[in-house]
Structure 1
Amino acid sequence: MQHRPVADLMTRDVVRARRDTPFKEIVELLAENDVTAVPVVDELDHPLGVVSEADLLRKCSAQADPSGLTPVPHLEAWERAKAAGVRAEELMSAPAVCARPEWTVVEAARLMAAQNIKRLPVVDEADRLQGIVSRGDLLRIFLRRDDAVRDEITRDVLQQTLGLLPSEVTVEVRDGKVTLGGSVEVKNLIPIIERLCRSVDGVVSVSEHIAYRTDDSRSSPTGR
């Protein structure tokens, strides 16, 4: 059982901006390539930051309303600096929060959630830009076919990891939702099976209806 690495999901042909890329050229890069952000790199292709549509829109939102009906919003000093920026290095959100190609979907998703960001530049051991991975890229694991998810659970989780026979636990997968049945020897094995199944890429939920022959969670064995 192995999570798909970021390298399998990231976009490799990355649209880049340089420190001195002007505002209008950045807008053109976004429009021409149908992207919502670009990493800003130095001469060695090291990511310095990311310029997104949200960064660029500060120039619009900071302007006075010609009608005079809407007051100019209060801006912090850094927001005023961004609104006045004309080059990528003045507009970008920095420093760049990056991922590694070998990271799992789980690691990348947790970093995005912790930093409240939508995308991660992906860098190699020398911190050179190799790709970029977005929230949408990570969600692609849920496009896995149900039979591929079922086969991985049966082969990698139940047989190879836990040493169970195919006849002991049944697996059904529909729209990423896993239903487990059958019977195992001890009760404490059931939550382990459920936890490992949840960790398989593409699994949306797990519902278990597994019986047990011995209740090893208490002194007197029972069945269900």
Structure 2
Amino acid sequence: MKGAESTVVQYRTVGEVMTGEVVQAYPGTSFEELARLLTTHHVGGLPVVDDDDKVVGVVSLGDLTRRQGARGRTGSGRDRVLRTLGRIVRARPAAGPAATAGGLMSTPAVTVHPEQRVADAARIMERRHIDRLPVVDEEDRLIGITTRRDLLRVFLRTDEEIREAVVDAVRPYGPGHDAATLRIGVRDGIVTIEGAAGPEDDVTVLLRAAWRVDGVVGVVNRLTGDGRDGSPALPTSPPA
């Protein structure tokens, strides 16, 4: 095949932006321990899993402050909520039978799979008015977590900022290892790369490097052949 060809590389997925190290609780985790986990790790919520690591619910800062009737005193500021929880932990309040993760959590948990698109996860958060989504495998076992901040990091960049980051990311992999020979454009987070392609393996790595830049939602490959056989050097499948 001769001439330029467009190939849209897959969209960013939840698996690319999620955090793999997850602070978690169990249904029997006490209120005191939940407060300690939230304040120590500076997180706004955490998933609750059973003995098989399957997600059964989510506990948030709001769940704990409502339990203590502290919402009116702390306001909506997260730092103030964390300070209030810190005081509760230091005071070692008597926990009632319902003051465990199992009694406080929101259930069923809203979860996503790692292969789902970032854009879809963002829509779920907006629709359900939540700030975090546990990421589960095909058997609903916890493998990570993604937050609104993770998703915003993908979207809240201008096209020019994304372009500059892509240029830096592909610099080692451009034709002749010189990204200056490429023409890189970005519109609405979709990167278009044009120029003379090098060996197929280099092109695959180049596209993967562009696709992993925060803010990139797709990559259009318009690289042409390198002149040796007159055909474009394109990957046989989207970079994983």
Q: What range is the shorter-chain TM-score in?
A: 0.5 to 0.7
Q: TM-score, normalised by structure 1?
A: 0.57
Question: Which of 24, 45, 50 is equivalent to 2:53?
Answer: 45
Letter in 2 for 1:97: V
How far the C-alpha of 1:201 sits from its partner, in A, is 7.1
* 1:34 counterpart = 2:34: no
Percent identical pairs in the alignment equals 46
- For 1:94, the equivalent position in structure 2 comes to 107
CA contact (8 A) 1:3 1:201 kept: no
Find the structure with the greater CA-based Rg.
1
- For 1:182, the equivalent position in structure 2 comes to none
Tell me which stretches of 4 or more aligned residues in structure 1 moved more than 4 Å: 62-65, 148-151, 170-173
Question: Which of 141, 146, 152 is equivalent to 2:163?
Answer: 146
**Matches of 1:12 and 1:62 in 2, distance apart?**
31
Q: TM-score, normalised by structure 2?
A: 0.54
CA contact (8 A) 1:150 1:171 kept: no
CA contact (8 A) 2:162 2:186 kept: no
How far the C-alpha of 1:91 sits from its partner, in A, is 0.3
Question: Which of 62, 67, 92 is equivalent to 1:59?
Answer: 67
CA contact (8 A) 1:149 1:201 kept: no
- Cα RMSD over matched residues? 3.6
How far the C-alpha of 1:113 sits from its partner, in A, is 1.2
**Matches of 2:17 and 2:146 in 1, distance apart?**
7
| Closer/same/farther in 2, CA of residues 26 and 8 from structure 1, 3 Å limit | same
| Closer/same/farther in 2, CA of residues 124 and 203 from structure 1, 3 Å limit | closer
Letter in 1 for 2:61: E
**Matches of 1:64 and 1:120 in 2, distance apart?**
27
- Aligned residue for 2:112, secondary structure, equals coil
- Unmatched tracts of structure 1, length 5 or more: 66-82, 152-165, 179-199, 205-224
How far the C-alpha of 1:149 sits from its partner, in A, is 5.7
- Aligned residue for 2:68, secondary structure, equals helix
Letter in 1 for 2:28: D
**Matches of 2:119 and 2:189 in 1, distance apart?**
19
Bigger relative contact order (CA 8 A; separation at least 6): 2
- Unmatched tracts of structure 2, length 5 or more: 1-8, 74-95, 169-181, 191-212, 218-240
* 1:118 counterpart = 2:124: no
CA contact (8 A) 2:162 2:216 kept: no
